[in-house]
Chain A
Amino acid sequence: MIKVIAFNEIRSALRNKTMVLLSIIFWLLIVVATFGGFKNYTLADQNREQAKAMFRKEWVEQKANPHSAAHFGTYLFKPFSLLSLFDTGLNNYTGTSYRVEAHHQAEMNYAAAQDSDTEMRFGELTIASLLQLFLPLLIIFLCFQSVSKERENHTLKLLYAQGLKPSSLLWGKIAGNYLLIGFITIPAFLIMLLAVGLKEPSLLARTLAFSICYLLYFLILISIFVYVSALSKSSKNALLTSLGLWVFFCVMLPKIVTGLANNWYSLPSRGAFNKAIETGTKEGINGDKDRMGRYKDYLSQTLAKYKVDSASQLPINFDGLNMQNGEDYLTKVYLNYAKEVEKKIEQQQFVQQVLAFIDPFLSIQQLSMAYAGTDYEHHINFHQHAQQYRDEFIRKLNFKMAYGDKNYLKYDYQVGPDFFKTMHDFEYQQPQLGWALQKHQYALYALLLWLAVTLSLVPIISKKIAIN
Chain B
Amino acid sequence: MKLFNTIFHFEWIQLKRQKTQWISLFVFFIIGCYATYAGHRTIQKQNLVLTKLQQQYNQDHVLTLQKFTDTLTAETKAQAAQAGMAQIINFRMPPLALDHPHALATLSIGQRDVNPYYQKVKSSVNYLDQENVEISNPAQLFAGNFDLAFVLIYLLPLLIITLCYPTYAEEKEQGTYALLSIQASNLTTILNYKLLFRLTVVLGLVLLLNLVGFAVAGQQTVLSLSSAMLWLWLSLAYIAFWFAICYFFLQFKRSSIVTALQLIGAWLFFLILLPSLTNSYISLKHPIPLRASLASYQRHVSEEVWEMKPIVLADSFNRYNPQYNSSINLAKDSTKNGERFIAGYYDLSERKVARFAKHIDQQLVQKNQMAAQLAVINPSIQLQYLFNALAHTGRNDHQNFKQAVSRFQKEWKHHLLRYQLTGTYFTPAELKQLPKFKLENDTNNLSIWMGSLSLWIGTMLFLMLSLMINKKN
Contacts and interface: CB of A to CB of B under 8 A. Distances in A.
B184 interface: no
Contacts of A29: 273
A118 B287 contact: no
Contacts, number: 237
Given A117-B395, A118-B381, A256-B146, A379 B138 contact: yes
B137 A376 contact: yes
Interface string A219-242: 000000000000000011001100
A119 B114 contact: no
Interface in B122-163: 128-146, 150, 154-155, 158, 162
Contacts of A116: 288, 367-368, 371, 395
Contacts of A270: 116, 131-135
Contact of A117 (B136, B256, B287, B371): B371
Contacts of B154: 251
Nearest to A117: B395
Interface residues on A, range: 35 or more
A459 interface: no
A109 B116 CA distance: 12
Given A114-B114, A118-B110, A55 B296 contact: yes
A259 B129 contact: no
A258 B280 contact: no
A123 B279 contact: yes
A96 interface: yes
Interface stretch (B66-74, B79-87, B219-227, B257-265): B257-265
B129 A106 contact: yes
A66 to B, nearest CB: 15
A186 to B, nearest CB: 23
Interface in A227-276: 235-236, 239-240, 243, 247, 251-252, 254-259, 261-263, 266-275
A75 B384 CA distance: 36
Interface stretch (B48-56, B237-245, B430-438): B48-56
A123 B133 CA distance: 22
B89 to A, nearest CB: 16
B51 to A, nearest CB: 11
A115 B271 contact: no
Interface string B26-60: 00000100100010010001000100110010000
Given A114-B115, A255-B145, 14 more contacts: A36-B284, A54-B292, A90-B141, A107-B129, A114-B114, A125-B277, A236-B260, A252-B155, A256-B146, A259-B143, A270-B133, A270-B134, A271-B118, A271-B120
12 contacts: A33-B280, A44-B290, A92-B142, A93-B138, A95-B133, A109-B130, A114-B133, A116-B368, A119-B275, A236-B166, A251-B155, A376-B138
* Minimum-distance CB pairs A-B, first 9: A122-B275, A51-B292, A125-B276, A117-B395, A258-B143, A93-B138, A93-B141, A269-B49, A90-B138
Interface of A: 18, 29, 32-33, 36-37, 39-40, 43-44, 47-48, 50-51, 54-55, 58, 72-73, 75, 77, 89-90, 92-97, 99, 101, 104, 106-107, 109-125, 129, 133-134, 137, 141, 145, 235-236, 239-240, 243, 247, 251-252, 254-259, 261-263, 266-275, 341, 345, 348-349, 352, 375-376, 379
